[in-house]
């Protein structure tokens, strides 16, 4: 119901028991996530932070106009000091991709932005949960984890939650069944090497093959996997950016944390030996509650899928190796905004 502006107009102190989310990056993804959070009535306060203060102020004002017709929350454009007491800081700021440019191709540019944002957060004493939505999200989650010094449980990447939703959607269309009736996982990288784990899919307790046979259909798994893998690029080709799907995934993760749901969601997390993989972020189903990631699950997958998962990890490892480990800390923290990342 309110639009408050900062930092030029001073920081908003808030109240001690208010639940607050800070969104770093007020571009398409950040603004849409703020809108979805407002409609879900999850928090009392939403602060938008962007190096383009005029943009952040305009989005906050527009959201506040909508908020007057929804459920009251305090929404304003602020600075990193306002983010210090946030329960969750959502980092959407990163380098944009163009055309068919892959998520991994912007890793170096995005890493500098993510490091700036994390440095600024840490300098203000932030102690909440870091939710990373900047691409390439697995690499950026690793960068944020390393830069923040936080336990890995407190640095979560949106990972393949959106891809898994897309998989459910495509299968639902092929089988003429509600996506919500389908349990399906995409694992590994949120990107071109991702794994649609068809062996784990269940519909009413039946395998995908079993259900399809009973329905008299034969879905093309390779086609389905390709549609899911290229969905972000297809959306960008049509409208220039993605926003609604990734924003909804962001809100779903926030909901699991803030309500201490102990929900199982496929998100990007630090691997510590699962499937023989360690020392990198990628997506596996995780138990999520108020402390962040409380447990990493290892679903039963077949040998071909495990090999594909290892290959996906190799892609992420190569991207990590290409980033300089000793990049000096920046002296002028800034927040960029996403305009056209393939989510």
In angstroms, rounded to a whole number, what is the distance separating the alpha carbons of residues 131 and 334? 18
Two tokens at 91? 């980092």
Answer for the pair 144, 91: CB distance below 8 angstroms, yes or no.
yes
Between the alpha carbon of residue 52 and those of residues 6, 63, 83, 136, 157, the distances in Å are: 12, 17, 16, 23, 24
Q: Of 143, 135, 131, 160, which is closest to residue 285 (Cα–Cα)?
A: 160
Answer for the pair 154, 289: CB distance below 8 angstroms, yes or no.
no
The strand ranges marked E within the chain are 2-5, 20-24, 45-49, 74-77, 88-91, 129-132, 155-157, 182-183, 186-187, 195-196, 202-203, 206-207, 263-272, 278-289, 292-296
The CA radius of gyration of the chain, in Å to the nearest whole number, is: 20
Instruction: Answer left, alpha or beta for residue 184, where phi above 0 means left and psi between -120 and 50 means alpha.
Output: beta
Residue 15, CB-side half-sphere exposure with 13 Å CA sphere = 8
Count CB atoms within 10 A of the CB of residue 195. Answer: 26
Q: Provide the annotated active-site residues.
A: 190
β pairing state of 292-296 and 278-289? antiparallel
Place of tokens 């959407």: 92
In angstroms, rounded to a whole number, what is the distance separating the alpha carbons of residues 96 and 134? 9
């Amino acid at each position: 119901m309110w639009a408050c502006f900062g930092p030029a107009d001073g920081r908003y102190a808030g109240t001690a028991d208010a639940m607050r989310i800070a969104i770093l990056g007020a571009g398409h993804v950040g603004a849409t996530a703020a809108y979805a959070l407002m409609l879900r009535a999850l928090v009392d306060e939403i602060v938008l932070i962007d190096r383009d203060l005029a943009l952040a102020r305009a989005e906050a004002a527009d959201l506040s106009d909508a908020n007057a017709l929804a459920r009251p929350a305090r929404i304003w454009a602020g600075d990193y000091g306002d983010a210090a007491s946030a329960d969750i800081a959502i980092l959407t700021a990163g380098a944009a991709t163009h055309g068919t440019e892959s998520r991994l191709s912007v890793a170096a540019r995005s890493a500098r932005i993510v490091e700036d944002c994390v440095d600024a957060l840490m300098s203000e004493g932030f102690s909440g949960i870091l939710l990373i939505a900047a691409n390439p999200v697995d690499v950026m989650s690793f960068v944020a984890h390393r830069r923040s010094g936080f336990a890995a449980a407190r640095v979560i990447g949106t990972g393949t939650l959106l891809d898994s939703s897309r998989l459910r959607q495509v299968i639902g269309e092929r089988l003429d069944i509600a996506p919500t009736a389908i349990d399906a996982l995409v694992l590994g990288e949120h990107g071109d090497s991702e794994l649609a784990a068809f062996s784990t899919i269940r519909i009413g307790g039946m395998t995908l093959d079993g259900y399809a046979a009973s329905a008299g259909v034969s879905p093309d798994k390779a086609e389905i996997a390709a549609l899911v893998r290229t969905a972000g690029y297809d959306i960008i080709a049509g409208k220039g950016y993605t926003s609604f799907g990734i924003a909804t995934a962001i809100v779903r993760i926030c909901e699991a944390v803030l309500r201490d749901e102990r929900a199982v969601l496929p998100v990007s997390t630090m691997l510590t030996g699962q499937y023989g993989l360690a020392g990198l972020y990628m997506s596996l189903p995780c138990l999520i509650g108020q402390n962040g990631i409380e447990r990493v699950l290892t679903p039963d997958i077949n040998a071909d899928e495990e090999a594909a998962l290892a290959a996906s990890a190799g892609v992420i490892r190569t991207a990590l190796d290409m980033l300089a480990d000793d990049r000096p800390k920046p002296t002028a923290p800034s927040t960029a905004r996403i305009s056209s990342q393939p989510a």
